[in-house]
Amino acid sequence: MTAILTHPLTIAVIKMLVAVGIVLGAVPMLVWMERKVSARFQRRVGPNRVGPLGLLQSAADALKLMWKEDFFPRNTDRIVFLAGPLMTFLPGVIMFGLIPVGQAPGATFLGEDGVLAVSYLQMGLLAMLAVSSLASYGIAFGGWASNNQYSLLGGIRASAQLISYEIVMMLSVLALVMTTGTFNLATIVQQQQGTVLPAWNIFLMPLTFLLFLVAAFAETNRAPFDLPEAEQELVGGYHTEYTGMRYAWFMLGEYAALWAMCAIIVTLFLGGWTLPAAWLGWMSGSPWYVVALVSFGVFIVKVVAMVFFFMWVRWTMPRFRWDQLMRLGWSKLIPLALLNILFVALVMEYGGWYVK
């Protein structure tokens, strides 16, 4: 029995199920959190009648969507219409599986270095960037297959937005890789631990962080970059023709992408699961499962704080116009990202203190 439980395939399946469970469990809580945050910013109460503090409101909404009529619009491509919501949801789950969420030194059955991740890749950062761009394909497919001009415009906007801001994200990551010298996400996290004070990349590379953050807002279609669904212009955008559980999958995909993107930001710029070594002296000699729980808890707290920041921005900033969105990406951020790479290269060449 022990041999079966410690078999690499068994461990991989368990880790995969845990990652999927975390994402599926986090999404309803993020929906509840979004409603509460928006209510506070608008001086309202928010959900408070379904369960304690309104915590069961998301479950009630899920039951409502399950019972709603689910139909296909006339003259649609049914296969693509069905694939759109699923393609929007899966990238968020896959991205979270690539991100190391903690470490358990000594737990050799977890794999190399005891890193808590579904897939521990040496090129994890590159794989994560490749997967992060796939969600927009689901939006584009859903918009095109709906046979609705509003949905089609939403899908086209999502594609154009992805092309514009994916370049900014790639250039900011390039500057980060230049200083860290690795695509391994766990190594990037460990380099940020510090001794007494955090050595987070947000402090060492603030411009790179800001560029990545703006691109992350655009990648997740969050306000002020939520042009693909812009209710005032496009009714509901790419999901106008979706009802019932297919609409719910789009919403699940949106919040799964938000959760995964915040986890990526925490990993690359906020130290991931680590805290300065001097803060963790009490953990010396602790069992591996204690270290794993503490590191995972630190990671989740950072991610939730980042999610709150995304919600804060959504409910305080107005939406960009489409021309402003494109001008910002192509005329401002891409040149700035290129200058950032040049600056990082110069500092690495003439100021060795910047090299990790």
Give the contacts of 129 (CB within 8 A, at least 6 positions apart). Answer: 169, 170, 173
Amino acid at 108: T
Per cent of the chain over pLDDT 90 is 37
Range of the domain at 172: 2-354
pLDDT at residue 163 tops 80: yes
* Interval 293-350: pLDDT, tens: 999 999 999 999 999 999 999 999 888 888 999 999 999 999 999 999 999 999 888 8
Q: DSSP state, 115?
A: E
CA distances from 133 to 65, 95, 238, 317 (A): 28, 10, 17, 25
- For the chain, first and last CA: distance in Å? 44
For residue 137, the model assigns a pLDDT of 85
pTM of the model: 0.93
pLDDT at residue 49 tops 80: yes
**Sorting pLDDT into bands at 50, 70 and 90, what band is 354?**
low
Number of domains the chain is built from = 1
**Sorting pLDDT into bands at 50, 70 and 90, what band is 6?**
low
**Sorting pLDDT into bands at 50, 70 and 90, what band is 31?**
very high
Query: What average pLDDT does the segment 77-89 reach?
Result: 87
pLDDT at residue 216 tops 90: yes
Q: How far apart are CA 139 and CA 248, in angstroms?
A: 13
For residue 278, the model assigns a pLDDT of 73
* Interval 127-145: pLDDT, tens: 988 898 887 888 888 888 8
Per cent of the chain over pLDDT 70 is 93
Under a CB-based contact definition with an 8 Å cutoff, are residues 133 and 112 in contact?
no
Q: How far apart are CA 54 and CA 348, in angstroms?
A: 52
Q: How far apart are CA 291 and CA 137, in angstroms?
A: 39
